[in-house]
Structure 1
Amino acid sequence: MSIELRHFRCFLAIADTLSITRAAERLHLTQPAVSRTLRQLEQELGLRLVDRSTHHLALTPDGLAFRDRAAVAVTAFDRALGAAHHTAWPLRLGHAWSAAGTDTTALLRRWHEEHPRTPLELLRIDDRTAGLARGDVDAALLRGEVRAPGLITEQLTTEPRVAGLPADDPLAHRATLSLVELADRTIALNTVSGTTTLDLWPAAARPASTITIGNTDDWLAAITGGRAVGVTTSATAEMHPHPSMAYVPLSDAPPVPVVIARRDGPGHPRVPDLIRLAHEVIGRTAGGAASGTASGSAGGTAGRSVGGAAPDGG
């Protein structure tokens, strides 16, 4: 027996639903047919992809690794079929929040002017690699350290970190803050795509209380609602001014690298052109983006705006 595309689709349905029953419903197959297809795939690969020892299915480490490769293969196949029916092959650029920040418009317009026959689609995907690892996009704008296997990154710029506070917080009108001054507060952490972890604080002064959120919108809501404070990059102030938010530069927090990432292997032929343009549009402000000076009020008298390009969402 040889592995066919149907084996990949079946496995991905199981990986998404973690249920033979729901995978069968999605694929319009019987449960025995789905189980049989999974066994065939595991036998051909010589790997155990799904752990069936518990009441609920779970992917094994090999299954987790194979899921991304299978998704890339299926996406590439589907796009190849779609390209046969369309004159344009869109280039998909993923991001988890705010893309290139204030440079987003310039990037999109420059691309349209220089490559009018290749549409550039900007997709927000709340994922650490903005959908790149699983093949949902062709390239991605990411922040922080990217450790996903099979990805190649190039740094474009850096963004200084700032504290995000409710506008009526006692610290909101300070010129600068230190991380230690936030250690007794509840910290909102974006564990999906953010760059802030408790390791940012000195070991002896780490916050004891945190709340977990999954995207920038929820991060903002947690802070403006008075539930927490946060740490983000300076560009959040530019992209998300709010009358109930204040952003204060942090004097002792390292800056966050901004990178453009692609998969290691064949991909959209225009990805190199996109990378070159990103360096021109975003990389040109690298020196200024790293400085992070205050620039007055944003979104109301209570908001402090700090120069930069895009938020990290907490």
Structure 2
Amino acid sequence: MPKTQTPVLATLGRILDMGIELHHLRGFLILAEECHFTRAADRLGLSQPSLSRNIRRLEEQLGVRLLARTTRHVELAPAGQRLYEQLADLLPRLEKALQPDRSGEVLRLGFTWGFPATWAHAAMSEFEQATGVRVDPVRRDERLAGLDHGDADVAIVRGRVDTRTARVIPLTEEPRIMAVAADHPLTVRRSVAWSDLPELPLVINTVSGTTQLTEWPAERRPVASAICSNFDEWLEAVAAGRGAGVVPSSIASSHMHPTVVFIPLTGAPPTTVQLVVPRQGAHPLSGRFVIAAQRAVAEHVRRRPARHAN
């Protein structure tokens, strides 16, 4: 073991090497205090048979009888008394040692644009309250929002994700809408069909955009009238009349522009919103954030069933 390891953690290592788990020790300690299986099981939130199995497992691992059982109550055998006296001091110290100080710890949440405040802020709040670790949103104009460069621990990514180095966890879907300049002829339309888009010049965000030309068959593919590398360039190109653009519907409310009009699309495939987590070297609490995000999305959808989470 490392020389810097504390005696308490060194003891924990020896315990685990013996195949003994902390819940076995905690169960014995409570049973020794209560001298009654039913009362001890109630305190531990276990069934009496489960507690009995844990105590039997502990005795087998130690190779000694810890209890002198009678028909009326439980008494400690000599070996049990010695173990109790040591555990009464050691176990609280072990449990305290296993409660890390997370002050200053941060989980970096990557995104490219259009931060989904409705559910993401709820997920951040739940995660921070449960773990004591702060979540910092980090914007990166990259396909995986900085995840592949080590700038983010978890990333919110819209659209297709093709990577073998990360886990992709779908959360929800968003409908797509079309964006055009305010003086575009299509602004008089109430909606535009997805099948009509190949007839229009499109502004494409090739880095973090959710709509690429490859979504149409090669023989019927729109012309890219402008190529951009981030969302802000894309928005200004649309505003300048370089062509139409396609984005998730949440952008209409979160990124207002005085000279851009958003038009509903019919027949368009939805955009998937997902979390992406590295397969190797992931933040120890990234799984906890994924669970918080899944709950937040489910709650948002439950409260607003007629609308997609964004």
Same fold (TM over 0.5): yes
- State the AA in 1 paired with 2:129: E
CA apart distance, 1:242: 2.1
What TM-score do you get using the length of structure 1 for normalisation? 0.61
Measured against aligned partners, the alpha-carbon deviations of 1:214-248 in whole angstroms (never above 9, x if no partner) come to: 11111110111111110111111021122211111
3-state SS of paired residue (1:126): coil
Q: 1:107 to 1:167 in 2, by over 3 A?
A: farther
Measured against aligned partners, the alpha-carbon deviations of 1:272-298 in whole angstroms (never above 9, x if no partner) come to: 110011101124445899976xxxxxx
What TM-score do you get using the length of structure 2 for normalisation? 0.61
- After TM superposition, the structure 1 stretch with the greater mean CA deviation from structure 2, 208-217 or 268-277, is 208-217
Show the counterpart of 2:297: 282
Show the counterpart of 2:274: 259
- 1:234 and 1:308 in contact (8 A); partners too: no
- 2:171 and 2:273 in contact (8 A); partners too: yes
Q: 1:291 to 1:233 in 2, by over 3 A?
A: farther
- 1:133 and 1:148 in contact (8 A); partners too: no
Bigger Cα Rg:
2
Match of 2:168 among 143, 153, 163: 153
Q: How many residue pairs are counted as aligned between the two chains?
A: 210
Q: 1:288 to 1:118 in 2, by over 3 A?
A: closer
- State the AA in 2 paired with 1:107: A
Show the counterpart of 1:138: 153
Show the counterpart of 1:96: 112
Any gaps of 5 or more consecutive residues in structure 1? Answer: 1-84, 293-306, 310-314
Q: 1:194 to 1:174 in 2, by over 3 A?
A: same
Show the counterpart of 2:207: 192
- 1:156 and 1:260 in contact (8 A); partners too: yes
Show the counterpart of 2:225: 210
- State the AA in 1 paired with 2:109: L
Show the counterpart of 1:271: 286
CA apart distance, 1:205: 3.4
Q: 1:290 to 1:161 in 2, by over 3 A?
A: farther
Higher share of residues assigned helix: 2
- 2:102 and 2:133 in contact (8 A); partners too: no
Measured against aligned partners, the alpha-carbon deviations of 1:42-73 in whole angstroms (never above 9, x if no partner) come to: xxxxxxxxxxxxxxxxxxxxxxxxxxxxxxxx
Measure the CA separation in 2 of the matches of 1:126 and 1:186. Answer: 24
Measure the CA separation in 2 of the matches of 1:101 and 1:201. Answer: 31
- State the AA in 2 paired with 1:242: H
Measure the CA separation in 2 of the matches of 1:290 and 1:189. Answer: 31
Measured against aligned partners, the alpha-carbon deviations of 1:103-123 in whole angstroms (never above 9, x if no partner) come to: 3333333333333x3111110
- Counting aligned pairs with the same residue, the percent is 32
Q: How does 1:1-314 map to 2 (within 5 A)?
A: 87-115=103-131, 117-285=132-300, 309=310
Measure the CA separation in 1 of the matches of 2:112 and 2:255. Answer: 14
- 2:204 and 2:228 in contact (8 A); partners too: yes
